[in-house]
Amino acid sequence: MARFGLLPALTSVLLATRALAATVNVNWDVTWVNASPDGFERPVIGINGAWPCPTLEATAGDTIVLTINNQLGNETTGLHFHGIDQVMTTWMDGPSGVTQCPVPPGSSITYTFVANAPGTYWYHSHNMGQYPDGLRGPLIVHDPNDPYAGKYDEEVVLTVSDWYHDQSLSLVQNMLEASNTQFLPPFPDGIIVNEGLGANVTFVAGKTYRFRIISFAAFASTMLHFDSHTMQVIMTDASYVKQAQAYQLRIAPAQRYDVLISCISRDHRNYPFLLSLDINRDFANDPPQAIVWPHNATGYLIMDTSGSFPQDVVSLWQPVNDVTMTPLDGAAALGPVAQTITLNFDFCTDVNGLPRACFNGQPYIAQKVPTLYSVASTGENNTNPVVYGDVNPFILATGSVVNVVVNNLDSAIHPFHMHGHQFQVLDRPGSNTGSWSGRNRTFPASPMRRDTISINPNSYAVLRIQITNPGVFLFHCHIEWHVEMGLTATFIQSPELLRNVSFPQDHIDNCVKQGIPYRGNAAGNTQDVLDTSDFNTVPPTTYTG
């Protein structure tokens, strides 16, 4: 296991969370399964021969030890634990080609990490656009010191996703064609709730229910409305907020909301709740004729099983603005800012004329050596972004406060996710505001936090983090198809603390089995790490898993 100088603040946090901790041991076989969550049967990726995949549960401070055995036969795989900070365990974050080599068929990998913060999370494959094929599930970290304890009686996990009848590899291959001059992603065939099991919740007068809402979507956001009931939001992603009312929510791919719904004395019937896929480019500003909601699902709060089950009707979607919510702990905006990273997003084409998605004109291009392994094995040169190749690398200094500015130059809303952080949202103005001028508007004194933020079209967001956790963490659009088009940057944090780190042997064995180098610069050069001659400079044109 790795050894490096621990930052004092993080050390104290880990010691505190582990005081009464347990170990959660899990062993999963990753297998193909046939399923028909919307009535159309297709192969999906399940766990231990079953699908939907199981819920993974722990209590804050617990250590999770999870082994996956790849029994797919024809595809590599891996797991990312979305929203988990991976404090001092960056090598357990899971994205293939970044913090590990992919797990080949017939091989295994063990992930060991601390569930350091309570909240609603999820796990999913971070390998070759694979999670839309079904390899995903809820990850719930319970809070023994829940500030909302006593305000609810039961918990309900509610997952929602767009759904495709074709497998991901073929969808990606068909998308990355020169004829796709509009840069269109695959459009979904439908919507599924709780992976096709639906959502009927027994609703009892006098009880309050905590809904843990998770979007597994690859492309479309979901609009949510409960008939005759206002949601009380208590958590965004895995950050507690001061209780905030929401009549409607827009849940972008990978986002989570924890909300309270109360059954009061005057409630007397079955109440529907509506989930609609938002496939609009900008639902709030598109022409009226473009606002169509072709994929809808209805769940029910059931008080009378013999009663009627009406449909919920929404004539206008006006979801709450999540950025107006405030953190429960009242934490102030970080500062002073030492570094600003500006990421201009737009679509582009590569040298082969294929459609790509770019930050600052450059798509992410996976290299021969996983980036984390280059950080550990390039010595004093590991602070030089040159050694990492075209992965859009940024070096972030220990302890520094960093602004991440994303200018969305596209005419559609895009959700962006940061690994390893709950970032502060300093600013996220409306559509068609233009790029950030560099001048601060009036930022909130206590900004809301989350790990996935929707950025409006032809507009921007200003996000803020502090570098207290050494590691390699991605920042990317969580429309999975745009990840495959290259919309990813790499944040290399405190690289000087990662020099000569060693990694678990089973992780390295997976590299060796596939002939993937795990030392040196992006091309595996250990003699001259500044020699870029063998770097990957063109994105792949074929995808085989």
Omega within 30 of 0 (cis) for the link into 363: no
Give the model's pLDDT for residue 21.
84
The predicted structure's pLDDT at residue 424: 98
Average pLDDT, the chain: 95
Residue type, 259: V
pLDDT at 18: 53
* pLDDT tens profile 465-520: 999 999 999 999 999 999 999 999 999 999 999 999 999 999 999 999 999 999 99
Give SS3 for 381. helix
**Full strand arrangement of the beta sheet holding 221-226:** 200-202, 296-302, 271-278, 221-226, 248-251
User: To 5 degrees, how large is the angle CA 449–CA 450–CA 453?
Assistant: 115
By DSSP bridging, strand 56-59 and strand 136-142 are parallel
CATH superfamily of 339-513: Cupredoxins -  blue copper proteins (2.60.40.420)
φ/ψ of residue 171, rounded to 5: -65, -40
CATH architecture of 8-142: Sandwich (2.60)
Average pLDDT over every residue of 45-69: 98
How sure is the predictor about 289, in pLDDT bands with cuts at 50, 70 and 90? low
Backbone Cα Rg of the chain: 22
Residue ranges of alpha helices (H) inside 199-343 are none
Query: What mean pLDDT is predicted for residues 269-282?
Result: 96
Do 542 and 175 touch, CB atoms closer than 8 A? no
Tell me, what's the pLDDT at 19?
A: 55
Q: How confident is the model at residue 442 (pLDDT cuts 50, 70, 90)?
A: confident
C-alpha 44/C-alpha 36 separation (Å) is: 9
Alpha-carbon distance values, 67 to 32, 196, 279, 497, 505 (Å): 17, 26, 36, 27, 14
Amino acid found at 412? A
Contact in structure between 204 and 236 (CB atoms under 8 Å): no
pLDDT value at residue 185: 97
Residue (of 65, 69, 64) closest to 47 by Cα position: 69
Number of residues that this document lists for the chain? 545
CB of 536 closer than 8 Å to CB of 365: yes
Share of the chain above pLDDT 70, in %: 96
Q: How far is the C-alpha of 422 from the C-alpha of 425, rounded, in Å?
A: 9
pLDDT class of 323 with cuts at 50, 70, 90 = very high
Question: What are the residues facing 35 on neighbouring strands?
Answer: 42
Q: DSSP secondary-structure letter at 289?
A: G
Q: Which residues of 22-44 are buried (b: 16+ CB within 10 A; e: fewer)?
A: eeeeeebebbbbebebbeeebeb
Task: Provide CATH 2.60.40.420 ranges for the chain.
Answer: 8-142, 154-324, 339-513
- Three-state SS for 311-350 is CCCCCCCCCCCHHHCCECCCCCCCCCCCEEEEEEEEEEEC
Residue 1: band (very low, low, confident or very high) from pLDDT cuts 50, 70, 90: very low
Phi/psi-derived region of residue 46, left when phi > 0, alpha when psi is between -120 and 50, beta in every other case: beta
Q: What is the pLDDT of residue 287?
A: 76
Sorted by sequence, the CB contacts under 8 Å of residue 11 that are 6+ apart come out as none
Q: How far apart are CA 509 and CA 511, in angstroms?
A: 5
Is the pLDDT reported for residue 243 higher than 60?
Answer: yes
Read off the pLDDT band of 294 (50, 70, 90): confident
- Enter the DSSP assignment of 520: S
Q: Which of 36-45, 374-383, 433-442 has the lowest mean pLDDT?
A: 433-442
Phi, psi of 29 (to 5 degrees): -95, 130
* 391 secondary structure, DSSP code: S
Selected residue with higher pLDDT from 312 and 113: 113
Rounded to whole angstroms, the Cα distance separating 51 from 67 reads: 18
pLDDT above 60 (res 9)? no
Give residue-wise pLDDT tens across range 347-382: 999 999 999 999 999 999 999 999 999 999 999 999
Architecture field, domain 154-324: Sandwich (2.60)
What pLDDT does residue 439 have? 79
β-sheet with 80-82: strand ranges across = 56-59, 136-142, 119-124, 80-82
- Position 138 confidence tier, pLDDT thresholds 50, 70, 90: very high
Q: Spell out the residues 6+ positions from residue 76 whose beta carbon is closer than 8 angstroms to its own.
A: 70, 96, 102, 103, 104, 105, 127, 128, 514, 545
pTM here is: 0.96
* pLDDT higher than 80, residue 290: no
Enumerate the H helices of 346-474 as residue ranges.
371-377
